[in-house]
Amino acid sequence: MSSREQHDRMANAIRFLAMDAVEKANSGHPGLPMGCADIATVLFSRFLKFDAKAPHWADRDRFILSAGHGSMLLYSLLYLTGYEDMTIDQIKNFRQLGSKTAGHPEYGHAAGIETTTGPLGQGLANSVGFALGERIMNAAFGNDLVNHYTYVLAGDGCLMEGVSQEAIALAGHLKLNKLIVFWDNNNISIDGPVSLADNTDQVARFQASGWNASHIDGTDPEAIAYAIEAARHSDKPTMIACKTTIGFGAPTKAGTNKAHGSALGPEEIAGARKFFNWSSPPFEIPADILDAWRAVGKTGVKARTDWEGRLAKADAKLKGEFERRIAGKLPENFDAVLGDYKKKLSQDKPKVATRKSSEMALEVINGTVPETIGGSADLTGSNNTKTSQTKNITSDDYGQRYVHYGVREHGMAAAINGLTLHGGLIAYGGTFLCFSDYARPSMRLASLMGIRSIFVMTHDSIGLGEDGPTHQPVEHLAALRAIPNHNVFRPADAVETAECWQIALESEKTPSTLALTRQNLPTVRTEFSAKNLSSQGAYELAAASGEAVVTIFATGSEVEIALGARDLLEKHGHPTRVVSVPCFELFDLQSDDYRKKTIGNAKVKVAIEAGIRQGWDHLIGTDGIFVGMHGFGASGTIEQLYPHFGITADAAAKVVEARLHK
Ligand SMILES: Cc1ncc(C[n+]2csc(CCOP(=O)(O)OP(=O)(O)O)c2C)c(N)n1
């Protein structure tokens, strides 16, 4: 068999697995795998460094299917190359409840799925983090241990999404030359030809952002191989515009949107079998072709065992550090260092904004945890995300720890996910809480994937002042709390901020958002507790003088107000306790007993938070009193705004007393 014939039959194996699995499920997207099978075959059989039997090998090349709807392309490749997770039964159960072959590739379902994709553009934007992560780890551990490529397959949809521009601009700026993107240039999306909505010269666009980019015939194996070879020797990231035909081989649907996202139907599939001269029944791959693919799955064994040999021979300290970081474990002294720091805070009682407390905590953390990579979307001085240890990462120096992401919140959050998924790194990045909206799609995916991405969101209320309602978050805490598996922290002082950072760093499977103030706050945790009280989500900060008739729940900057209201109420003879609530999600995880005890049964329950009420009723009940925002904020000084919106100790005490006297 000629090598061309062998290539064609290997590519056809992908095409038929995809076609037949979508047909059986009567749902899915056959068009992309059929059109891109040649690209995938060349990449996997000639270039990709991987070992199907060691899918987590740290120095493997990464393959990211950004066009996640084409999931059957990835599942077929994983099955054909012999990943243990991906059996033929999984392929037969495509899109069925409980299978690893979910509608779109989901991180954690099967080895070989490097990131969750489906929301278009995310994979491409993640890949910037992957490729940057490779360079950062390379700078720390050298060519012997870290030296791999990041390959991405993106569709028209990925390139139309705004996040793609943020991603490619950042990758071009950082000269991530080991990032290689294939664009499935098939002119078709769901509504029809791409020209219905877009006429961008994509090659010129990428070039303008500092990439190499060129057009090739995406069905010609030699052209594909030549382009990849050139890309691997480039000093810039590369985009290869691959001209393909969606649903290639389907007699009437190829090249049309009818091949995009539904089963082709028996006639089309029969026609494709004829066209490709493929006589095997569904889910059966001719033995010689399966053997050829399985051999591809083993080609990386030598590279992997050579690498293991180099790791075994590496300096013991370097090896230990590499292994610790890849395992995602914090340095052993981390808890002790944070404990000492907390003790000092309770003694010093600083009166600083929690954004400053966060910087102070990071100064300690970054000095102890060398794998943290900080950054901000052009608000470094406001987010306080930079510490003495974190100098700028540039295209000349990847051995540093700070990324100036530019005004690109979405691209930043997606890159943070990529850095996190790469392994060996803990990434955090900042913007204003109000602009979490711009980062939210990636924050949500961090939650869905269950990864340790950390988002630093400062200027967390009307307390930011004169920038006004465009910049003042009101619904954002509620909106972020609505995301499953996302810890939203709103610490009240420097001690809680240190505790929340500790939890964020220790939460390997849950991303965190820290909502932090611009305004100074007093230390309310003046008594040292070795225990991380914030880890309970809510705890009694101030007890009542007698049996409590009032419980005030508050977060962040409003804890100070709650304590003020308590003083007034106690003075007027109403025993009042204050519960600090740094994290709803962690409180919900506590035992029934603890939750009941903490909520208590005071006659009046009050919540104070400079945001909307949504979400609070589960603590204060529908008859509880909410002191907070009921609409958008306004431009004014903080001294004007809190009284204007009735969020003061006085105002809170008054509404409580009115209720008590009812
Ligand atoms: C953010 C986002 N918006 C919309 C969709 C729904 N969607 C899935 S595929 C697709 C069209 C993508 O076109 P293209 O990338 O050209 O893929 P092809 O048709 O070539 O398979 C759309 C709009 C999505 N998955 N993600």
Q: Is the CB of 258 under 6 A from ligand 1?
A: no
| Helix 436-449 × helix 122-141 angle, to 10° | 70
Q: Is the CB of 628 under 6 A from ligand 1?
A: no
User: Which atom in ligand 1 lies closest to the alpha carbon of residue 29?
Assistant: 21
User: Which atom in ligand 1 lies closest to the alpha carbon of residue 157?
Assistant: 15
Q: For a pocket test of ligand 1, which of 32, 34, 117, 120 has the largest count of ligand atoms closer than 8 A to its C-beta?
A: 120
67 C-alpha vs ligand 1 centroid, how far in Å?
7
Q: What sections of 148-280 are H helices per DSSP?
A: 156-160, 162-173, 202-208, 221-232, 266-276
Q: Is the four-CA dihedral 75, 76, 78, 83 of positive or negative sign?
A: positive
pLDDT at position 403: 99
At 212, give phi and psi (nearest 5°): -80, 140
261 C-alpha vs ligand 1 centroid, how far in Å?
9
31 C-alpha vs ligand 1 centroid, how far in Å?
12
Q: Is the CB of 119 under 6 A from ligand 1?
A: yes
Hey, whose CA ends up nearest to atom 13 of ligand 1? 189
Residues marked as catalytic = 409
Closest Cα to residue 63, out of 249, 283, 262, 296?
A: 296
112 C-alpha vs ligand 1 centroid, how far in Å?
22
Q: Is the CB of 633 under 6 A from ligand 1?
A: no
pLDDT along the chain (662 residues), means of 10: 92 98 98 98 98 98 98 98 98 98 98 98 99 99 98 98 98 98 98 98 98 98 98 98 98 98 98 98 98 98 98 98 98 97 97 98 98 98 98 98 98 99 98 98 99 99 96 98 98 98 98 98 97 98 98 98 98 98 98 98 98 98 98 98 98 98 86
DSSP secondary structure letter of residue 578 = E
Q: For a pocket test of ligand 1, which of 29, 36, 69 has the largest count of ligand atoms closer than 8 A to its C-beta?
A: 69
518 touches 459 (CB < 8 A): yes
Beta-bridge mates of residue 243:
185, 217
pLDDT at position 482: 98
Residue type, 339: G
Residue type, 345: L
226 C-alpha vs ligand 1 centroid, how far in Å?
28
Q: Please tell me whether residue 465 adopts helix, strand or coil conformation.
A: coil
pLDDT at position 435: 98
pLDDT at position 2: 78
112 touches 84 (CB < 8 A): no
Instruction: Say which residues have a Cβ less than 8 Å from residue 142's Cβ, sequence separation at least 6.
Output: none
Q: What sections of 213-300 are H helices per DSSP?
A: 221-232, 266-276, 287-298
Q: Is the CB of 145 under 6 A from ligand 1?
A: no
Question: In angstroms, how far is the first alpha carbon of the chain from the final one?
Answer: 91
Closest Cα to residue 390, out of 456, 489, 316, 309?
A: 456
pLDDT at position 452: 98
Query: Cα(269)–Cα(19) distance, rounded to whole angstroms?
Result: 7
Q: Is the CB of 116 under 6 A from ligand 1?
A: no
Q: Is the CB of 186 under 6 A from ligand 1?
A: yes
CA distances from residue 372 to 57, 113, 525, 592 in whole angstroms, order as listed: 22, 24, 27, 36
pLDDT at position 662: 83
Rounded-to-10 torsion of CA 381, 386, 387, 391: -120
How many Cα atoms sit within 13 Å of 63 on the Cβ side?
Answer: 24
Q: Please tell me whether residue 471 adopts helix, strand or coil conformation.
A: coil
